[in-house]
Structure 1
């Protein structure tokens, strides 16, 4: 089916199918470059010995939140299911990178907060990752960097929101 076929969403107004098609190979190349360059793996290694991506994801979610979170909140931020985060939190607790504290609003529930060592690991990860991106963008004009950050944030938010819609709503909106 082409983008103009009945039942399929068409391109946004002002965008031709060729415009969108031209972006697809670039997105694929970008994804491949990240994977082949093992950028995330290198940053995870910098975070601490034997920390894998999911564990680092929990720590970075807590760092970004700036406050303790429930397991479900961490799962939502990571876009994974709760049991996955529970396993990671248990591993991080054993390594003394996070701890459980009582939720002041509901004593039956607990919140997860990073320890000092957990915060340091998250900072090392973020510093490594952001440092790499900063090097790539160093020669870009300031306005281009600002435009990229603004548009990339908007694109990521819109894609995430669209993928979160139930299929019926997504089909109806198209």
Structure 2
């Protein structure tokens, strides 16, 4: 096990700054979705329709919190509730075309912002950053015992 407390402290600090900069980019960049809306829509884009209970479990949030967040998305026309296609009693949440369009617009703004930061980085450095972030997130998911869907497949070491 890695025992460099000073390095772990520095990593914690850098991750804190990363989350701060991501939030600031959302405020400056013209994104329309708040963090919870973005994450819910991104999850629903990759999975079949999900119930409030399934979303609650996926996000590890109280069902009342997810219900409130989904309700805000529903009022904006970004998600809709459907009858369970498998015949269950719980209604399923699915993104609307408007919700996916807004998610894609916000994602494009995020990508352009990332591109601005990475301008001038070597291709190797960009791939290394991607690999380290993917490994970190995959290890968090492994430790929590739940994975997060990825549109480009599961992360594997040394992928270019």
TM interval, shorter chain, is 0.7 to 0.9
**Structure 1 segment 5-154 matched on structure 2, within 5 A:** 11-12=1-2, 16-35=4-23, 38-42=24-28, 45-47=30-32, 51-63=33-45, 65-154=46-135
**Structure 1, unpaired ranges of 5+:** 1-10, 166-174
Query: Structure 2: where are the runs of 5+ without partners?
Result: 146-160
Deviation of the 1:122 alpha carbon: 0.9
Runs of 4+ displaced beyond 6 Å: none
Once the two structures are overlaid, the 10-residue window that deviates more, 139-148 or 151-160, is 151-160
User: How many aligned residue pairs are there?
Assistant: 145
Q: Which of 1 and 2 has greater Rg?
A: 1
Greater RCO, 1 or 2 (C-alpha within 8 Å, sep 6+) = 2
**For the residues of structure 1 that align with 2:71 and 2:10, how far apart are their CA atoms?**
44
* CA 1:81–1:105: 2 relative to 1, 3 Å: same
Return the offset for 1:100: 0.9
Name the TM-score, length of structure 1 as normaliser. Answer: 0.68
Supply the distance in 1 between the matched residues of 2:64 and 2:135 (Cα, whole angstroms).
Answer: 29
The change in CA–CA distance for 1:31 and 1:114 in structure 2 (over 3 A counts) is closer
